[in-house]
Amino acid sequence: MSLLTINDLTVEFPTRRQLFTAVDHVDLSVEPGEIHGLVGESGAGKSTIGAAIMGLLDRPGRIASGIIKLSGDQISGLDAEAMRGLRGKKISMIFQDPLTSLNPLFTVREQLVETIQAHLGGSDAEANKRARDLIDRVGIPDPDTRLDQYPHQFSGGMRQRVVIALALCTEPDVIIADEPTTALDVSVQAQILGLIKELAQERQVGVILITHDMGVIADTTDKVTVMYAGKVVESGPTAQVMGQPRHEYTKSLIAAVPRPTLKLHRFPQISYGGRETRFAIEDMARHWPKVNNDTSKPVFEIRNLTKKFLQRRGLLPWDRTYFTAVDDVSFDIRAGEVFGVVGESGSGKSTVARMIAGLYPVDGGTITFDGQVVSDLTNKAALDAYRRNIQMIFQDPYSSLNPRMRVDDIVAEPIRHHRLMDGVDIKRRVDELLDQVGLGHEAGLKYPHEFSGGQRQRISIARALATQPRFLICDEPTSALDVSIQAQILNILKDLQEHLGLTLLFISHDLPVVRQMCDRVAVMKQGKVVELQETNDLFANPQTDYASELLRLMPKLDDLSTDGLEAEA
């Protein structure tokens, strides 16, 4: 008998205008000790299934039909009190972001003991002992000290271990892990997935792993269910679904995953559902000022760049301590290339980008743009002229657009700031830009919240292109996006580089994406550049231990079907 079975589940969200069906007649079953992957793009309904099992559907969502059974007993339709008894006790959940899923004001011990006692009762001493064992089991070193610390004293990976310990508190039968590693670095992701796998085996727990990352699915799961628009399109053993996908959507989803082993000219886009949005690069190129990319000379020469952040304040200079975020970094960026910077979080890659953009003052070293030293510019006119040529695209398309401004004002802002044109001309340029990035000029009258993540990133691109810059800084431009949207955005960036002669600084922690995008890559670790190579050489033949370790931790996608992919000659 299966541990958890879902039969014909339909979840509806009635809204004022219509009934939105988030989950549409879904069947699913999980065996003890099995990890069942649930994959799909955002909005496919995978998290809704998790919430429905937990009885935690957000209002006004409701289970319209279907039966959820746990060890043969029906749990859908139980009243709130009975459901609370099951939550945490029989079914646990692990959330995506370990930074926000722990209460910041309570120690780890308080949160564990509280949960243990809520379900098992028992004395303080027993609960404390159990808490310590759990913390030890999930691989947190020095459990006695760590138990009395607060969540903010743990790193992201360690916090996710605490979250797992909390989910395991009362020996649940089923754990629902909703994107448990999306917010983590590759190396930490591998550890956490390893731990989940181990625990599932050891305790014979059934795990539903919800993710949009095909790499995670391929590496971790035993079975996989692929969802599209609330429906299951394909389900089966992972190796079979990944290796010989039957459904068109699964095929294109797998094809869209950037491969570390294969360099393609363009990112394959998901064609299923016919949602491709045109990006009018030829149109744009016609109006773009001719750039004379002299490839013999670098655009940027960065020498001995250093940035320190004040870590400890003090009245007296010798009382202060600093954290060196960027430590003696030097590299050149050639005209017209895509220069990649990779590294784990905290390695200083974003700090470098911000210093180049002039957002952080430089503490040491120089930045030279086009033969002119720009790192010590104080003259506002000169600084403005420099900044006009440098534009930035940020990671989070949700927070990088002002929600109170209309889209046309957002795109027009850089033009107005630099006084490049006025009145009617601004309007014409903005309309053109919005048409060219595929949103259509009528998008200008809307506000950012009316757009999806990928569309917002297009607005960011239109804004960045408004001043006709020569250099774009892309700081993790796609890490908040789905695979299919990621492919669209990355293709746009590639077009910009190829057709408009733009030079790109591309920051990412996603090695397969870097492999596809970049001509040369710098690997950063703890503020230093440890390796700088041509992309192909780096992937084929890393020179440092750190780089080879990063490459080793990359999800292996060897089993994935390569239908429809043609390697670049």
Q: Which residues bind another protein (CB under 8 A)?
A: 54, 56, 84-89, 92-93, 95, 97, 100-107, 114-115, 118-119, 150, 152-153, 163, 166-167, 169, 311-315
Region for residue 562 given its phi and psi (left: phi exceeds 0; alpha: psi -120 to 50; beta: otherwise)? alpha
Shortest reach from residue 313's CB to another protein, in Å: 6
- Rg (C-alpha) for the chain, rounded Å, is 25
Question: Which CB sits closer to another protein, 153 or 204?
Answer: 153
Shortest reach from residue 542's CB to another protein, in Å: 37
DSSP 8-class letter at 93: E
Shortest reach from residue 95's CB to another protein, in Å: 5
Cα separation values, 67 from 22, 28, 77, 183, Å? 16, 11, 8, 32
Shortest reach from residue 150's CB to another protein, in Å: 4
Shortest reach from residue 87's CB to another protein, in Å: 4
Question: Which CB sits closer to another protein, 140 or 281?
Answer: 140
Question: Which CB sits closer to another protein, 138 or 517?
Answer: 138
Q: Long-range contacts: 194-199, Cβ < 8 Å, 24+?
A: 195/138, 195/139, 195/161, 195/164, 196/35, 196/164, 196/220, 197/35, 199/164, 199/168
Query: b/e string for 506-545 if b means 16 or more Cβ within 10 A?
Result: bbbbbbbbbbbbbbbbbbbbebebbbbbebeebbeebeee
Question: Which CB sits closer to another protein, 59 or 404?
Answer: 59
Query: b/e string for 551-566 if b means 16 or more Cβ within 10 A?
Result: bebbbebeebbeeeee
Shortest reach from residue 316's CB to another protein, in Å: 11
172, 92 contact by CB (below 8 A): yes
Question: Which CB sits closer to another protein, 74 or 321?
Answer: 321
Shortest reach from residue 92's CB to another protein, in Å: 7
Shortest reach from residue 22's CB to another protein, in Å: 17
Question: Which CB sits closer to another protein, 93 or 500?
Answer: 93
Question: Which CB sits closer to another protein, 88 or 245?
Answer: 88
Question: Which CB sits closer to another protein, 119 or 307?
Answer: 119
Q: Long-range contacts: 411-420, Cβ < 8 Å, 24+?
A: 411/444, 411/459, 411/462, 411/463, 411/466, 412/466, 413/463, 413/466, 414/388, 414/463, 414/466, 414/467, 415/466, 415/467, 418/384, 418/388, 418/467, 420/388, 420/467
Question: Which CB sits closer to another protein, 102 or 472?
Answer: 102
Strands in 19-30's sheet, in edge-to-edge order, are 19-30, 4-14, 62-70, 73-74
Shortest reach from residue 314's CB to another protein, in Å: 7
